[in-house]
């Protein structure tokens, strides 16, 4: 995925399934300038990671 698409998903009112290494994630923030996104992994709100947007996959 690219940063532009990650931003579109983040701003969308629809629920769009996104995965990181096969695990479902929610996009919390997109830093397009640096090509990274902060995501919440699974259902634990404290489990956040900042990853390269290229690692995210839309399903």
Q: What pLDDT does 55 receive?
A: 97
pLDDT on residue 59: 87
Residues 54, 59: Cα–Cα separation, whole Å: 14
- Nearest C-alpha neighbor of 53 from the set 32, 26, 25: 32
Cα 34 to Cα 13, 17, 45: the distances in Å are 24, 23, 24
1: helix, strand or coil: coil
pTM (2 d.p.): 0.88
Q: In the structure encoding, which two tokens stand for residue 57, read together?
A: 């996959």
Topology of the domain covering 3-58:
SH3 type barrels. (2.30.30)
**Predicted pLDDT of residue 34:** 97
What is residue 35's predicted lDDT score, i.e. its pLDDT? 97
Ordered per-residue pLDDT tens for the chain, 59 residues = 999 999 999 999 999 999 999 999 999 999 999 999 999 998 888 999 999 999 999 98
């Amino acid at each position: 995925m690219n940063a532009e698409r990650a931003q579109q998903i983040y701003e969308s009112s629809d629920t769009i399934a996104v995965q990181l290494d096969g695990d479902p994630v929610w996009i919390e923030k997109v830093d397009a300038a640096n090509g990274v996104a902060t995501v919440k992994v699974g259902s634990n709100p404290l489990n956040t990671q900042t990853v390269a947007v290229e690692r995210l996959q839309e399903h």
